[in-house]
Amino acid sequence: MSAQNPQHGHEKLYAFGEHTITVLLVDDQEIVAEAVRRMLSGEPDIRVDYCQDPTKALDRARKIHPTLILQDLIMPDIDGLTLVRFFRASEATRQIPLIVLSTKEDPATKAEAFALGANDYLVKLPDKIELIARIRYHSKAYITLLERNETYDALLASQAALNSELKQAAAYVRALLPPRLAGDIRTDWEFIPSTSLGGDSFGYHWIDADHFAMYLLDVCGHGIGAALLSISVINTLRSESLNHVDFRDPAQVLAELNQVFKMENHNDMFFTIWYGVYHKHEGEIEYACGGHPPAIAMTGDTPETAELVKLSGEGFIIGAVPETKYAGFSFSLKPFTRLYVFSDGIYEVEGCGGKVCMFDDFAGVVRDLYRDNGAHVEGIIDAMKARQGKDVFDDDVSLLEIEFQTEP
C-alpha cells in the first residue's frame, strides 16, 4: 500500500512532474517573515507563502499544499509544539516536511519536536545558505514521494481500465461459445478465463446432417490481442469461411488455418488447436491436431464398461511454419463414448507430487472420477482445483465434454 497522497481531493498548484517548492511560513512576527522572504528572493524555484495567524495555519496548508512547512515554536494563541501535533494528525499534512524555528538550541525542546513529527530544527534566524539547502533537501524528498504516489495512482487507474477491458473481452468470448446440447449428442463445457485473459475458445456445429464439427484452440500469450485472435479463428471455423476447404476434412482445415493465420501477420502469435468431425453414418471421429493436447475419451459398449482412450495424433502449432502438412486420424465410436477436449490450463497446475501435473496425470484424474461418479465437467474442475490447492487457475481453462449415443 502506498503512502496517502496529501493532495487527493484538492486543486493542485502544479502539474504532474512539475512540482514547485512551496514553503508555508508560520510565524506571528512579520519581521521574521520579511527576513525569510529576502533570504529566498533570489531563488526563482522556491515560492514562499506566509501565515501570520497560527490558528489558520492548518487550513492554509490544506489550501496551498506546500512542499515544506517552516514554523515558529513560540506564538500567541497556540503553542508551536501543539501546532506540530495538529499538522501530523491531519491526513492532508501529516507527510509534509516540517522544520521548526526556535530562538534557542534546547535539547529537550528539540527532542520533543522530533518526537511529535518535526523533520528538522533550526535556531532563527538561520544562515541563508543553510536554510536554502534544508528547504531544497526536504522538499526534494517530499516531491519524490508525491511523484511516486501519482505514478502509483496512474498505474492503478491504468490497471483498472485494463481489467475492465479484459472483463469485457472475456464476456465477448463467452458470448461466442455454443449452447449446450442434449439428445444423441450431449455437450457440456466450462470456460474459465485467467485474470489476464488468454486465448482459449471452442465451438461445435453441424456441417451437414451427417457431419458434426468440434474444435478447441489456445492462442499463445495473454491479453486482448490473444483474445482477438482466438475470436477471429473461432468465427472463421463457425462460419466455414476458409476458401477451397472441405470442413469435413480436419487435416485440410488445419493446413489452411496455418496459411491464413501466419504469425508475422498476427503480432507473432500462434495457436494450438484440436479439430474433429463426427461422422454420424460411419460412427467415427476424424480429427487432426495442431500442437494441442490430445483429446481423451471414455468409451465402451455401455457406460459401465467404458475405458479411457487417448486420441493420439501429432501436428505442428498453427501459424509458425507455412506450408506445413497435417495428418488426419480416426477413432471408431462404441455404443457409448464421452469425449473430452481441453486446453493445457486445466492440468498444468502444481499438485502432482510437488511438481506441475502433466497430461497423463490429468487423464488419470478423469479416469478415476469417471469410475467414481461419472467424471462430468464440474467434478473435473473441482478435482483440479483441489490438486492445486486454490480456486483460481493461473491460465485459461477450457473443458469441452461431448457424449455420443450410437447404435450398437
78, 163, 298 from 181: Cα distances, Å: 79, 32, 19
Tell me how crowded residue 394 is: count the other CB atoms within 10 A of its CB. 15
Grid coordinates of 193 = 478465463
Sign for the pseudo-dihedral over CA of 386, 389, 392, 393: negative
Distance CA 399, CA 80 (A): 69
Distance CA 143, CA 337 (A): 68
Q: In sequence order, which ranges of 93-127 are alpha helices (DSSP H)?
A: 107-116
Q: Which domains does the chain have, with CATH numbers?
A: 21-152 (3.40.50.2300), 177-405 (3.60.40.10)
Distance CA 405, CA 336 (A): 6
Query: What is the predicted pLDDT for the residue at 3?
Result: 40
Distance CA 27, CA 47 (A): 16
Query: What is the predicted pLDDT for the residue at 398?
Result: 94
Q: Specify whether the CB–CB gap between 214 and 403 falls below 8 A.
A: no
For 133, the 3-state DSSP assignment is helix
Query: What is the predicted pLDDT for the residue at 224?
Result: 80
Q: Specify whether the CB–CB gap between 215 and 237 falls below 8 A.
A: yes
- Classify strands 185-192 and 120-123 as parallel, antiparallel or unpaired: unpaired
> Which DSSP string corresponds to 67-102?
SEEEEES--SSS-HHHHHHHHHHSTTTTTS-EEEEE
Among 279, 405, 401, 276, which residue's Cα sits nearest to residue 341?
Answer: 401
Q: Specify whether the CB–CB gap between 89 and 58 falls below 8 A.
A: no
Query: What is the predicted pLDDT for the residue at 196?
Result: 66
Residue 94 CB partners (closer than 8 Å, separation 6+): 4, 6, 87, 88, 117
**Backbone phi and psi for residue 194, each to the nearest 5 degrees, phi listed first:** -70, 170
Query: Helix crossing, 359-373 with 377-388: angle to 10°?
Result: 130
Distance CA 358, CA 396 (A): 16
Q: Tens place of pLDDT for every residue, the chain, 408 residues?
A: 334 444 443 334 433 346 789 999 999 889 988 999 999 998 988 999 999 999 999 999 999 999 999 999 888 878 889 999 999 999 999 999 999 998 888 889 889 999 999 999 999 888 999 999 999 999 999 998 888 888 888 877 776 776 677 677 777 778 888 999 998 899 999 998 876 667 889 999 999 999 999 999 999 887 788 888 898 999 999 999 998 999 999 999 999 999 999 999 888 999 999 999 999 999 999 999 999 999 999 999 999 999 999 999 889 999 999 999 999 999 999 999 999 999 999 999 998 888 999 999 999 999 999 998 877 999 999 999 999 999 999 888 999 999 997 765
For 50, the 3-state DSSP assignment is strand
Q: In sequence order, which ranges of 221-316 are alpha helices (DSSP H)?
A: 224-239, 250-260
Q: Specify whether the CB–CB gap between 43 and 187 falls below 8 A.
A: no
